[in-house]
Amino acid sequence: MPKGFIGKVRLGARLMQYDDPKFWRAGAISTTVVMAIALGMLTVDSLEAITPGGSHVPPYSVINRHIGYVYNGRLGRDMPVIGADEPLFGKPVTETEAAAFMERGKLVIQSRSCINCHTFMGNGAYYAPDLTKAWLDPAWDTWMAITGADTKEEAMVRFLMAPEQYATWLRKMPNLGISRDEAVATVAYLKWLSSIDTNGFPIHFGRPQTSR
Amino acid sequence: MSRSKNLAVKYLVAAILFFGVMTLSGLMSAAYYIQPDFLFGLIPFSIAKMLHIDTMIIWLLMGFMGAVYWFLPDEFEIEPAGIWAAEILFWVFVSAVLVVAATFVLVQWGAGTETTLWLVQQGRKYVEAPRWAAIGVALVMLVFAWNVVGTALRARRFTGIMAVMSVNMVPLVLLYLIAFPKIDNMAVDLYWWWWLVHLWVEATWEILIGCIMALAVMKLLGTSRKIVEGWLYVEVSMVLGTGILGLGHHYFWIGTPDYWLGIGGFFSALEPLPLLGMVVHAVYDAGVHRMKTTNRPAFYWTLAEAFGNFLGGGVFGFMITLPQLNLFAHGTQWTVSHGHFAFWGAYACGVLSVCYIALQEQRRLAVVNGRGWVWAFVLLNGGLIGMVGSLLVAGMAQTFFERAIGGSTLEAFIAGQENPWFVLGMYSRMFFGLIFTAGYLTLAWNLLALGHREAAAVAQPAPAE
C-alpha cells in the first residue's frame, strides 16, 4: 500500500477525534453562533411587524374604529377587521391621546397584576378567562343590561370599578380599587389589543362549533 | 470546610425553606379551584399564585447557587474570588425575598403608577418582584458571576466545565435586565419577556444545571472528566442548537408573523433530543457502575433529574409544542401540567441531588442511605406525577370544551371550567398535592436528621449486619 494513502487515513483520523472534548467544543460554539445570528435577524423583522402601524399590529388610534373578527377562508383562520368609525364613548382621540391611554392602561394591567388570574395571548394564570379578544366577547351585550349601561365600553368600565357587585359565577373578581380614569384607559387598551392579528388565537373566538 | 462550602450550605438550606413556601402557596392556589371563596377578600387567588411561581424561581436559583458555591473550591482548590461579597449578599437576598413576599401578601397591589412598579410589584409573570428587589437580584447575579469567573482567572485554570459555566454567566446576567422596562405595546413586551423566560429557563438554566450535574456525576460515580466534558459540549450544542430558535414556540400567538409557526414548531420539536441524550447517558452510567454508590439518594435524584427532564420537558413539552395543537391547548391547564413536570424534572430533582451530596461531605458520612429518603423520593415523585396527570385530564377537557367546540369566549371558558372532567382533575390535583406536601415534609425531616441519627448509631457498638 502506498505511504500517502496511509497518511490520508491518519489525517482523516486526526480531524475526527471524537474522544477529544475540543472537537465537541468547536461544534457547540459554531452551533450557538449560527443560531444566535438567525434569532437576531428574525428579531429585527418581527419587531418591525409588531410595532403599532406595522403589518400585524394596528396603530393605537384604531380605538376610534369598529373592530370585527371574521373567518378568513383563504388563510383558514379568524382575522381582525378594522371597520367604520366607532370612537370609544363617542369621542374620537388623536394618535397621541390614544398612546396616553395605552401607557395608562398598561400601568393598570401591571399594577393590578391581571396576569396572575387572567391570560393575555394565552400568557399568565389560568384561573380567569383570556383577555386577548375580551373587547369582542358577545357576553358584553348581557353585561350592558346587568350594569345598566348604554354602551359596551360603559359596561366594561362599571364592571372593572366594582367587579364584586356583578359576580355571576362562582369565581369572583376582587375589587382592585380601579378609578374611573384607570378603567377607561384599560378598556381602550383591551379594544386595541383585540385588533392585533394573533394568527387565529384563541381558536373559533365567538363561534361555538356545537351546531353546524 | 471552606467558606465557599459554608455559604453553599446556607444557600441550600434557604432553597429548601423557600421550596416549602412554594409548596404551601401551591396548595392554596389549588384550593381556590375547588372552593373559590377560600380566603377570598383576604388573599385573592392571584397573590397565592404569584407567591407560588416566584418562590419556585427563587428556590431553584438559590439551589443552583448553592451547588455552584459547593463545587467551586473542589474545581479550583482555592477560595472563590470575592467570597466576602457573596456572604453579605446571601443575607441581602434572603431578606429581600422575605420583604417582597410580605409586600405581596399585605399590600397586594397599588395604583396604576410607576411608583407601584418600583415599590409593590411589576405585574409581569415570574418577574413580579418590584424594581428595587429586581436590582437586588441583578446585583446577586453579578457577584455570582464574579465569583465564578474571577476564581477561574485567579486560579489560572479553566476546566472545560468551568469555562462553559463562566461564558454562560454573561447571558444569565444580561437577560435578567429584561425584568425592568415597562413596555406599553404588549406584543413587544411579550417578545422580549420571552427572551428572559425562555432563554433563561430553556437555555442558560439548562446549561447551568448541565454543568452542575456534570460535577455531581464526577463526584458520585467518579466518571472521568474527559467523558463528562465531551458530553457537556454535546449537550450545549444540542440545547442551544434547538433551544435558541425553539423560542419560536412562544411567538405563535403574540402578534408576531406566522413564519414563527414553522420555525418554532420545527426547532422545539427537536428540543427533546438533548434531554434524551441525558437519559441515555444516565442509564449507561448507572449500568457501568451497577448502581453502586455511597450516596444512594443523590444518585437516585440524579436519575430522576435525567428521566424527569426528558419526560416533563421533552415529551410533555412536545405534546403541545406543534402549532396545530398549541392553538387549542395554549394557556390551558395542559400547559400547567407540562410546566409542573418540566420544572420538577429539569431543575428541582437536580438541586435535591446536590443537597444530598453536600450533606454527605458536610456531616462526614461514609454512606448515605436509610429509609427516610426513600419515603421522600416516592411521595414527592408520586405526588408530582399524580398532579401532572390530573392537570393533563383537566387540560384536555378544557382544550376540547372551551376551545375546540366552545368558541373560546367567557361563556366557553366557564363551560370548560365546570366540565365534570375538569372538576375531577382539580380534586385529584389537590389530593396529589397533599401527597407531594407529605413528601416535602419527609424530605425536610430527612435532610435535617440524616447525619445525626447515623452518628448516634456509630457511637454505639455496631450491630452485625
Residues in A touching B406 (Cβ below 8 Å): 204, 208-209
Residues in A touching B263 (Cβ below 8 Å): 42
Do residues B123 and A115 lie in contact, with contact meaning Cβ atoms separated by under 8 Å? yes
User: Over chain B, what is the mean pLDDT?
Assistant: 92
DSSP assignment, residue B120?
T
Whole-number Cα distances in Å, A192 to A52, A59, A131? 10, 8, 12
> Which CATH code, of 1.20.210.10, 3.30.365.10, 1.10.3720.10, 2.60.120.700, is assigned to B1-182?
1.20.210.10
DSSP assignment, residue B255?
S
**Beta carbons within 8 Å of A9's beta carbon, 6+ residues apart:** none
- Mean local confidence (pLDDT), B110-136: 95
Length of chain A: 212
pLDDT digits (tens, 9 = 90+) for A136-171: 999 999 999 999 999 999 999 999 999 999 877 889
Burial B180-213 (b: 16+ CB within 10 A, else e): eeeebbbbbbbbbbbbbbbbbbbbbbbbbbbbbb
pLDDT digits (tens, 9 = 90+) for B375-407: 999 999 999 999 999 999 999 999 999 999 999
**Is B294 near chain A, with CB under 8 Å?**
no
**Beta carbons within 8 Å of B410's beta carbon, 6+ residues apart:** A129, A134, A137, A139
Domain boundary assignment for chain B: 1-182
Sign of the four-CA dihedral B238, B316, B206, B70: negative
Residue B290 has pLDDT above 80, yes or no: no
Q: Name the residue type at position B41.
A: G
pLDDT digits (tens, 9 = 90+) for B337-357: 999 999 999 999 999 999 999
Residues in B touching A104 (Cβ below 8 Å): 112
Of B182, B245, B335, the CB nearest to A110: B182
Range scoring the smallest mean pLDDT among B90-94, B169-173, B459-463: B459-463
| Confidence label for B464 from pLDDT (cuts 50, 70 and 90) | very low
Which of B230, B235, B388 shows the shortest CA–CA distance to B306? B235
Whole-number Cα distances in Å, B452 to B291, B296, B376, B440, B460? 25, 18, 18, 19, 13
Minimal CA separation from B368 to chain A, in Å: 33
Within 10 Å of residue B398's Cβ, how many Cβ atoms? 30
Q: Taking the CA of residue B55 as centre, how many other CA atoms within 13 Å lie in the half-sphere pointing to its CB?
A: 25
Interface of B with A in 64-123 (CB under 8 A): 109-114, 116-117, 120-123
Of B32, B41, B234, the CB nearest to A127: B32
User: What are the grid coordinates assigned to B240, written together?
Assistant: 442551544
Instruction: Show the low-confidence residues of chain A (pLDDT under 70).
Output: 1-17, 211-212
Crossing angle of the two packed helices B83-106 and B3-34, in degrees rounded to 10: 20
Peptide bond into A21 cis (omega under 30): no
**Is B46 near chain A, with CB under 8 Å?**
yes
CB pairs under 8 A between A and B: 251
Whole-number Cα distances in Å, A199 to A72, A79, A183, B338, B453? 11, 8, 28, 23, 60
Q: What is the largest CA-CA distance in chain A?
A: 98
With CB atoms and an 8 Å threshold, state whether B184 touches A103: yes
Position A16 scores a pLDDT of: 54
User: HEC states along A35-51?
Assistant: HHHHHHHHHHHHHHHHC
Domain boundary assignment for chain A: 8-50, 60-194
Which of A68, A63, A58, A66 shows the shortest CA–CA distance to A97? A63
**Beta carbons within 8 Å of B460's beta carbon, 6+ residues apart:** none
Interface test with B, best of A75, A96, A111, A176 (most B CBs within 10 A): A111
- Mean local confidence (pLDDT), B302-323: 93
Helix locations, B35-130, DSSP H = 45-76, 83-106, 114-119
What CATH code is assigned to A60-194?
A: 1.10.760
Q: Which residue of A has its CA nearest to B228?
A: A21
